[in-house]
Amino acid sequence: MDPVVPDSLRERKKRSTRRALRLAALSLVAEHGLDGVTTDEIAAAADVSPRTFFNYFAGKEDALVGNDPEVAGQLAAELTARPADEAPLDALRAVLDAYAATVSIDETFWSLRARVLEAHPHLRAALAGSSADLDRALTEALARRMGAPPTDLYPALAVAVATSAARTALWYAGTTGFTRPFRDVVGEAFDVLAAGLPAPLALGR
């Protein structure tokens, strides 16, 4: 079951173009602003035809802030694989922490993305939206593992809150230039969550 990705030449090429498009989009937008860049230019910068851009991304925003398509399924699978007696929030924390670990590897990429998000607040909306797929997948997995109907309030709530916390942590790590390890920030966010979001003690810092 390990090589879910066959990693053939084809696969490697696909990943590489996808990445090239992502980077092209991010750098161009970082330099010229969101409306100063067309999809054609992005495609050109990544050395593919304009049409191909849309074989990889649903749109400009998706290229900038979207998740890779396999992520949702992968994380959902990891969630179902967690021990059955683990508390929901702990299971979610473990899954999202694993995700955070993968993020930490590609820090240049994420810094660039943070800069772009900073400069274009409108994209934060798209970012929140791009996690909708992930939320759906995780909610379904969590409901299943809890033996609850997928329309139940709790699983949806726990997932929405957890991914929301992770996203906020990513934003925070990004704006602070990743001076603190991202995983630590995620950990802190989940600690606060599990404690019921108490007011932080250190009010004068």
Partner DNA sequence: CGCCGAACTTGCAGTGACTGCAAGTTCGCA
Partner DNA sequence: TGCGAACTTGCAGTCACTGCAAGTTCGGCG
What is the amino acid identity at position 57? F
Interface with a second copy, residue 116, by CB under 8 A: no
Per DSSP, the three-state class of 178 is: coil
Q: Pattern of binders to a second copy over 159-198, x per CB under 8 A?
A: -xx--xx-xxx-xx--xx--------x--xx--xxxxxxx
Residues 6+ apart with CB under 8 A from 27: 45, 112
132 binds a second copy (CB under 8 A): yes
Here the contacts of 130-134 (C-beta below 8 Å, separation 24 or greater) are 130/61, 130/62, 130/65, 130/66, 130/67, 131/67, 131/163, 131/167, 133/67, 133/72, 134/67, 134/71, 134/72, 134/75, 134/163
CB 183 within 8 A of CB 97: yes
Between 42 and 156, whose beta carbon lies closer to a second copy? Answer: 156
Instruction: Find the shortest distance in angstroms from Cβ 60 to DNA.
Output: 4
Q: Minimum distance from CB of 64 to DNA (Å)?
A: 10
- Out of DNA, a second copy, none, what residue 48 binds, judged by CB under 5 to 8 A for its kind, is DNA
Nearer to a second copy (CB atom), residue 3 or residue 149: 149
User: Least distance to a second copy from the beta carbon of 101, Å?
Assistant: 19
> Is position 34 an interface residue for a second copy (rule: CB under 8 A)?
no
- What is the amino acid identity at position 163? T
Q: Contact residues for a second copy (CB under 8 A)?
A: 87-89, 121-122, 124-133, 136, 146-148, 151, 153-154, 156-158, 160-161, 164-165, 167-169, 171-172, 175-176, 185, 188-189, 192-200, 203-205
